[in-house]
A = this chain, B = another copy of it.
Amino acid sequence: MDGKLRPFFEPNSVAIIGASSTPGKPGHEVIRNILANGYAGRLYLVNPKGGEILGMPVQPSIADLPAGIDLAIIILPAETSPQALRNCAAKGITHAVLSAGGFAEVDEGRAQIQQELVDIIREREICVLGPNTSGNISTPHRFTSSFFPLGKIRRGKVSYIAQTGNFATHTMKYILTSENFGVSRVIGLGNKIDIDESEALEYLADDPETSAIVMYLESFKRPRRFLEIAREVTRIKPVVMLKGGSTEIGRHAAVAHTAAMAAEDRLVDSMLRQAGIVRIWDYTHLILAGKALSMVPLPRGNRVSFLAPSGAMLVVLADLCIHLGLEIPDLGPDALQRLQEISLPFIRMRNPVDIWVAASVKGVEFGYREGMEAVLKDPAIDAVVPILMLTKDTGIPSFDFIIELARKYSEKPLLVTFSGERQYMEDCKEFIEPASVPTFPEIEQPFEVLSILARCRRAMNRPQ
């Protein structure tokens, strides 16, 4: 098993079966993606027309390829994919990504083509990712098999397993254009006729380039095996999962999507809990959790402090924390003393922290900086969230101090959110996120994410 998936992520040579000279076609865009990411291995193109594509020679057939190619990316219609796979196997290629859709997820007639692929895999011992997959990504190896125009993909340390083509395409594009974190490996499972979530998880468990794993699954192919692997990996790496098809009607939609009937949701829930996998419920949290796991350590526990120069913010966020299972503990004497010093004697400071007085008397930056440092220092606190209320007229802090505090107290997650003028929120995001301080546009989000991180920690520390 070990290393079975490696050629998908660290191929020394890759052949694209169905390479196209037409921009916009998947067989063309996959080449551009590979070039844009600076792939350093050998790249072979196959198309019956021969000639050149993007300055590279094109082989007319798979038979014309040299021996010893690690990975084939087969970008052909469903009907011609089986023969191509057979030809690749005959050429000694041991790994293939099958991009085409239109198999079992469509109708029964086409399910037969999928069965043909399954037979070839069994006979020829070739490893297949897909079909119906938007491919995989491996930024440490500067490689991708995605045919969706992504350009250069930002490198990171969180990896994704997704039973949907949607992740390595539009969602990835969103992350690349709107976020400042990157990914390590992305595995688009597609119809899972061969490689499934268990093998994907096993690969990432041992992968030194992967520090946390975020999953979107619609079904379990081998639940027992998956459970076995998950039980181990969740003790060393956080695993977060959104399970699509948790309702009857969602399952209905899932059948149309990846041809897999989802398991009963309650069973899923207890299985995930046993396995130490942290279940999430929103697609958006796939992105936000990935961002936080990329930038901050896991909190030691679920005890948070948060600060704002606004009473209402503190009230609604205190309510939210309680609903999310986060604690808002009393602060230690040192923190309280410092907070009292920067406030007024007749205002009793507590957690959550109202920095209104400090901010109005000594300036917004002073209020946030001193308040944040007081609670970051406090051993009673595991994570800190400043709600930055930004308007030009009340003064925009420099943002430098946030990065400094994040570095100084690097063992504690520091998550930033905002209220006020949009432009300054964007400025702050672009300034502090490249220094690994995540920001969240909506005030509820850092707390939702902290609750996910705290559950990851609890899973990691759970008794044997």
A248: nearest residue on chain B (CB-CB)?
A: B322
A242: nearest residue on chain B (CB-CB)?
A: B316
- Whether B312 and A244, one on each chain, are in contact in the complex, defined by CB atoms closer than 8 angstroms, is yes
Q: If A249-B321, A323-B247 touch, does A106 touch B177 (CB 8 Å cutoff)? A: no
Contact bitstring A312-338, B, C-beta under 8 A = 1, else 0: 111111111111000010000000000
Question: Could you say which residues of chain B place their CB within 8 Å of the CB of A441?
Answer: 441
Within 8 A of B (CB), among A92-112: 105-107, 109-110
- Whether B170 and A283, one on each chain, are in contact in the complex, defined by CB atoms closer than 8 angstroms, is no
- Whether A170 and B310, one on each chain, are in contact in the complex, defined by CB atoms closer than 8 angstroms, is yes
- Whether A256 and B319, one on each chain, are in contact in the complex, defined by CB atoms closer than 8 angstroms, is no
Q: At the interface, yes or no: A174 with Cβ under 8 Å from chain B? A: yes
Question: Could you say which residues of chain B place their CB within 8 Å of the CB of A443?
Answer: 283-284
Q: At the interface, yes or no: A238 with Cβ under 8 Å from chain B? A: no
Taken together as a complex, chains A and B put the C-alpha atoms of A419 and B173 apart, in Å, by 8
Within 8 A of B (CB), among A333-383: 346-348, 350, 352, 354
Contact partner, A166, options B171, B253, B419, Cβ 8 Å:
B419
Contact bitstring A436-448, B, C-beta under 8 A = 1, else 0: 0000011110000
Q: At the interface, yes or no: A414 with Cβ under 8 Å from chain B? A: no
Q: At the interface with chain B, which of A60-68, A114-122, A420-428?
A: A420-428
Question: Could you say which residues of chain B place their CB within 8 Å of the CB of A194?
Answer: none
Question: Could you say which residues of chain B place their CB within 8 Å of the CB of A242?
Answer: 316
Question: Could you say which residues of chain B place their CB within 8 Å of the CB of A109?
Answer: 346
Taken together as a complex, chains A and B put the C-alpha atoms of A107 and B164 apart, in Å, by 57
A418: nearest residue on chain B (CB-CB)?
A: B174
Taken together as a complex, chains A and B put the C-alpha atoms of A322 and B254 apart, in Å, by 14
- Whether B250 and A318, one on each chain, are in contact in the complex, defined by CB atoms closer than 8 angstroms, is yes
Count of chain copies: 2
Q: If A250-B318, A254-B315, A315-B257 touch, does A310 touch B393 (CB 8 Å cutoff)? A: no
Find the residue from A148, A314, A444 having the highest chain B CB count within 10 A.
A314
Taken together as a complex, chains A and B put the C-alpha atoms of A239 and B127 apart, in Å, by 58
Q: At the interface, yes or no: A246 with Cβ under 8 Å from chain B? A: yes
A350: nearest residue on chain B (CB-CB)?
A: B256
Nearest chain B CB to A434's CB is how many angstroms away? Answer: 17
Find the residue from A24, A29, A250, A391 having the highest chain B CB count within 10 A.
A250
Ordered by A's residue number, 27 sampled pairs between the chains whose C-beta atoms are within 8 Å are A109-B346, A149-B391, A149-B393, A164-B311, A166-B313, A166-B419, A169-B391, A170-B389, A171-B419, A174-B419, A177-B421, A177-B422, A244-B312, A244-B315, A244-B319, A248-B322, A249-B319, A250-B315, A250-B322, A252-B350, A256-B314, A256-B354, A257-B311, A282-B442, A283-B312, A283-B316, A283-B444
- Given contacts A107-B347, A174-B422, A284-B443, list 20 more A-B pairs with CB under 8 A: A148-B393, A163-B312, A165-B312, A166-B311, A166-B313, A170-B390, A173-B420, A174-B420, A216-B312, A244-B319, A249-B328, A250-B322, A253-B311, A253-B318, A254-B311, A256-B311, A256-B354, A257-B312, A283-B313, A284-B442
